[in-house]
Structure formats: C-alpha cells, structure tokens
Chain A
C-alpha cells in the first residue's frame, strides 16, 4: 500500500500530461477535421482530392508509424526541430483530424437537404447556410461519435511513451522498473485511465443533453 501511495504523485504527473496532450490533440484535431471535411465536400476538385488523400493516408497507416515519421522522420530534416511533446500532440492531432473529418462529413451529409433549400431560398449564401444552419445541427448529431474518437485518441496517447514522453504509461513503466510491482502499478494505471475516460464520457453525455433538439 505504501508503495502505491509513494508512486501516486509520479503517476499523477503522468496523468496530467496525458490529459494535456489529449486535450490539445483533440482541439487541433477538431480544427484539422473541420477544415478537411469542408474541403472534402467542396466542389473545388484540388481541395477535395487533398482532403481525400489526407484521410486515406492517415487511415491507411498505423498510428505508431505516423508517430515515428513525425518524431524521427521530420526531425531528421535539418530545418525541423520538434520536442517529443510537440511531436506527440502533432501526431494525435493529425490522426484524430482524419477520423474527425469523416465524422463531420457524415454529420453534414446526414442533414436533410430541405434545410439547405430553406436557408438558400431566404437569401443566405452557401457559407452562411453552412455556418448557421447545417453545422450546428451536424455537430449535435455527431457528438456521440466524437466522444468515441476522443476516447480512442486518449488511449492512443499511451503509444507516445515510445518516443520518451513521460505520460501515464511511460510513468507506469518507470515505477514498475524501480519497484518490480508490475501487478499493482499496472492496476493503478489502468484505473487512472478508466476514470479519465469515464469523466470524458460523462462530459459527453452532459453536453448531449444540454444541446438536445427539443
């Protein structure tokens, strides 16, 4: 028991870093996803192809390979210098961005075309229609799927331990190698992830209820 209490501050630091990377990764991932989704649905062919290939490449390669490419590959170029944490955030952002793009695209396409027609006949431009009518409804509809992606991205941060980021999993390894108490420590680490994801799910449920269509 003492051992667990002693290791908690160390693991707590890891948990905070995990949460920090997840939040920033999802934030930038959402922006990347939104832009990619709008490109994907754009009538302008080059933008559309750019979006399609970005999505294809990210979905068609393992996250670990993407991470190595960003951290080791990009850093081997003389004009780029990424810290492990920045590389990790970038990796999570890009990976989540591609999946979020598809979530947003499906959300937009699920909105009845009568909504667009009604908005356009009132004189709204296509950009205004997207902003005031389609996106607010699409984002509500995709919320459960978005929470799902947030959970996946959070778990993916555990892979960042391989590029030396002292997030929760990496801290767990450090504590285990110092104490040899693998069973106890990994149980604690697991519980910490579980609590974090549970809170995320609850937040998602709250937001969903709050913005439910009446």
Chain B
C-alpha cells in the first residue's frame, strides 16, 4: 500500500521550473533513496512531500490525504511525516530532552511523564541517553543529527523524510548517523532519503530514484541502477560519484 503518492508534481520558483512533472509513489516499509547532481530538484521534491514548499501543480497524496487541497489541515498531516534536515535545526534554547518532548506535549497533548519516558527510550535507541540534559550547542554534529532523528521519531510518524542528513557532517561522524538510519530501516520504517551516500543507497535502499534537471530520469532497485544504469545521464553521474 502506498503511503505517499506523487502525481504530476510541478514546482516553480518564479520563472524557474525546478520540478517538471514528477510522478512516483512510496510504499509502506519501503526505503527510497533519491540521488542526483546538485540543482536536480531532489531536495525540493522532498520538501514538497510535507508541503514545506508550496506545490505549483499536480497532487501529493500522503496517507490518503491530498495535501494540495487548500482545505487540508497540514499540521495534522505533518504529525505523521517526520523530517530530518541537513543542518539538524535543533532548538538551541531547549535541552536535548525538551527538543524531543516539545512536539508530543504541545501537539498531541501527551503528558510530561509519558513524553519524557518516550524521549529517553528514543535517546537510548540513538545511543545518546546520557546527553538528555545537554544543550544542542554542547553536541557534535553527528550527535545533533541523531537527536534530530529521535525528535522526529517522538511524533511516531508513518514515514520519515531525510534531506541530505549527512552532508553537513565531518566524515568521521557520517557512520554513526547512517547506522541509526539503517537500524530504522530494519525496523520497517518507511523512509525517503535524499543523499550523496551511494553506499547507503545501495545497501539500505529498496529503490533508488535518480533525478536530474527536475525529472526522475531513472527509478530502480539499487543493484540494477548502480550495476546497470540505462540512461546516459545516470551513467555520467554515477561515473563521477562512484
């Protein structure tokens, strides 16, 4: 069953058309990796999936709700779609624990005790239980990103979006974040991951989307896409990054 369905999605910034007719879907428990050169529209595509960008044309159906419907309560939809950003975007004035408990308490009215327990459980899962009372400024990049993942998971989303989650990290910290994501995939989380980590896409992805120039150029199982790319542009891109 598909959790996200994208139909003829188009997105323009002024006169610049960034996404030109994108259609695809994401099924339950599937890990979809989106790769492509910078400027190909992959981040914009991801940001359209939870309406962080206004959608110019087409439809995006999340969990049965068409988010392009102007009457839709987007806050409700977003509770079910977790997102992890390249630059973490932790709340610097709140402790690690407060970063994680804020949304469940304010949005879902979970009581403090329950939110706390859940947060500690998630921190344990990402290996940062001892950092609960630290502030984001005291953490390394890799730790910040793991907290950001825990924060998103605290809302118990049905699908997680990752926007280049390791691109802002020092090389030695990339592994710890990918490890957490791998674990998440293993547990059956539905994930859409925009990434430059070809190793991750190949190993963890169920399907890889190659985007270029605002189009989906090729969309296949990782072994096929990496092992036997058909399109010239895919070949050229993979030739440069592999």
Check B85–A122 contact: CB distance below 8 A: no
Q: Which secondary structure characterizes the binding site on chain A?
A: helix
**Of B82, B89, B151, B152, which contacts A114 at CB under 8 A?**
B89
Q: Count the A residues whose beta carbon is within 8 Å of the partner chain — how many?
A: 20
Interface size, B (range):
20 to 34
Check A122–B89 contact: CB distance below 8 A: no
Check B52–A123 contact: CB distance below 8 A: no
Check B137–A214 contact: CB distance below 8 A: yes
**Of B75, B79, B102, B137, which contacts A213 at CB under 8 A?**
B137
CB distance from B150 to the nearest CB of A (A): 12
Residue B240 CB within 8 A of the other chain: no
Check A122–B52 contact: CB distance below 8 A: no
**Of B75, B138, B151, which contacts A214 at CB under 8 A?**
B138
Check A213–B93 contact: CB distance below 8 A: yes
Please, how many angstroms separate the alpha-carbon atoms of A120 and B77 in the complex?
A: 11
Q: Encode B151-193 as 1/0 by CB contact (under 8 A) with A.
A: 1100100000000000000000000000000000000000000
Please, how many angstroms separate the alpha-carbon atoms of A183 and B151 in the complex?
A: 65
Q: Hey, which chain A residues are within 8 Å of B151, CB to CB?
A: 122
CB distance from A211 to the nearest CB of B (A): 8
CB distance from A126 to the nearest CB of B (A): 9
Q: Hey, which chain A residues are within 8 Å of B91, CB to CB?
A: 115, 118-119, 133, 137
Please, how many angstroms separate the alpha-carbon atoms of A33 and B179 in the complex?
A: 48
Given contacts A132-B106, A214-B135, A214-B138, contact A118 B89 (CB under 8 A): yes
Q: Hey, which chain B residues are within 8 Å of A213, CB to CB?
A: 92-93, 135, 137
Within 8 A of A (CB), among B21-67: 50, 52
Residue B76 CB within 8 A of the other chain: yes
Residue B217 CB within 8 A of the other chain: no
Given contacts A122-B151, A125-B75, contact A132 B89 (CB under 8 A): no
